[in-house]
Structures are given as C-alpha cells and as structure tokens.
Structure 1
Amino acid sequence: MKIAVTYENGQVFQHFGHTEQFKFYEVEAGKVTASSVVSTNGSGHGALAGFLKAAQVDTLICGGIGGGARTALSEAGIRLFGGVSGDADKAVEALLAGSLAFDPNVKCSHHEESGHTCGEHGCGEHHHHGA
C-alpha cells in the first residue's frame, strides 16, 4: 500500500490542486516502512492524479479537493480521504488504525463546481458565487 498526503510544513495541506508537495508513505502489514516528501514540480489539478498514479499511490489523504480532481483520482483507482486537517504523520497513523476522521463529501468551496455529483441535492446551496 502506498499513501500520499498533501503536505506543507508537517501538516495536511488544504487545497489539493495547489499542493506543491506530497508526503508518500510506504505501508506493509499495517505499518509505515518508509516515507518521503516529493515535490509536484508545479503539476496542478488534473495532472496531480496522473502524478500520483505514476508514483503507484493507491490512497490519498487531503484537505479540500474539487470535483474534477475527485473524478480524476477515481479514474486512476486512488482511494480518497478528504476533509482531513492537522499533522500528516498522525493522519496516516489514524487511517491505518481505522480511526481517521474524514469527509466523504468534501469540496473545495473557493471555486464553482460545474456538474458536481455528490449524490444528494442539499450540498449546492453554499457554492454559488454568481460568478
């Protein structure tokens, strides 16, 4: 298993599409065996899913994430745990322990979601900026 966390100064970075670093965690038998911090070299939004897939990541922990990036991750077969904040290492430990608090419906609310699919219609009210 290989987990990626959007990463900045030890914390889970809150905007997937703007993340400049991921911390990768190699996991075997439920324990982290290695970790490394990797620069995205300026890859943004859509390219980040490909970047993670190329790195053989199968699980992503992040803060906010937009609909397009969610779709790209899903198509790449990467499991998403969004809406996570705080210490990156602790988030990975919590995930492995089955106790990570995450939000399955997380969104980046700073930009308009076009054609979003969240499965229920109560989530759109706060996302219309009239732009």
Structure 2
Amino acid sequence: MKIAIASEGKQVSGHFGHCEGFTIYEIGEDKSLKKNFVENPGHRPGFLPVFLKDLNTDVIIAGGMGETAQVLFNENGIEVIVGAQGDCDDVIQEYIKGNLESTGSVCTEHQHEGHCEE
C-alpha cells in the first residue's frame, strides 16, 4: 500500500495542490515502512490525482483540499484524508494504527493558498 502525504518539509501541508511535494510511504505486508519524497510537479487542474495514481498511490493525506480534487482522487480509486496536521512521520503512524480519520473539510479559498486550515 502506498500513502502520499502532501508535505512542506517534514510537516503536512495545509493544501495539497500548493505543497512542496509528497512524502510517499510504502507499507509492506510485513508492516515494513519505506519512505521517499517526490517533488510537486506543479498545480494544474486535474493533474495531481492522475500523477499520484501513476505512482500507484492508494491514499492521499493533506491538511486541506478542494472539492474537485477530492472527487478526482476518488474517481481514480485514491482514498482522501483531509484535516491532518503535524509531522508526516507521526501522521503516518496514526494512519497505520487506524487513528487517522478525514474531517471531510473542503477548501474553497484557493486564492489564499496555504491558509486552508484557518
């Protein structure tokens, strides 16, 4: 299973489309964990869901995300979890434990990138 976390450095990004990149965690059947970072290739409508699908991503985790992006991720078979905050390594551990739930929040203020959690 592959989980992508929209990242700013080691922290979960407030808005997935404008993040620095994606910390990709691969969880093996034996619960082993591999991690790598993929730079955000750029925010273009409809592009990132397909980009992450091409990386075989199963789940996207972000602080916030617009409604259209959430629909496109779901159409690509990628589970969306929004409302996450904090250190990416801590967030993935909470996901593995089954303690991370999506708030379902939808960003509407895209002109204010980076302020989706306010």
Residues 1:51 and 1:10: Cα distance change in structure 2 (over 3 Å) = same
Identical pairs, percent: 36
1:77-105, Cα deviation, whole Å (9 max, x unpaired):
001111111111111110010112431x2
After the TM superposition, which residues 59-74 of structure 1 pair with which residues of structure 2 at under 5 Å, given as runs? 59-74=59-74
5+ residue gaps, structure 1, are: 113-131
1:41-71, Cα deviation, whole Å (9 max, x unpaired):
2243421101100000001111110011001
One-letter amino acid of the structure 1 residue matched with residue 16 of structure 2:
F
CA distance in structure 1 between the aligned counterparts of 2:45 and 2:87, rounded to whole angstroms: 23
CA distance in structure 2 between the aligned counterparts of 1:3 and 1:32, rounded to whole angstroms: 13
5+ residue gaps, structure 2, are: 112-118
TM-score normalised by structure 2 residue count:
0.86
Q: Kindly name which structure, 1 or 2, has the bigger radius of gyration based on alpha carbons.
A: 1
The answer for the alignment partner of 2:100 in structure 1 is 100
Between Structure 1 and Structure 2, how many residues are aligned?
Answer: 111
Q: Secondary structure at the match of 1:34?
A: strand
Q: Kindly report the root-mean-square deviation, in angstroms, between the aligned alpha carbons of the 2 structures.
A: 1.7
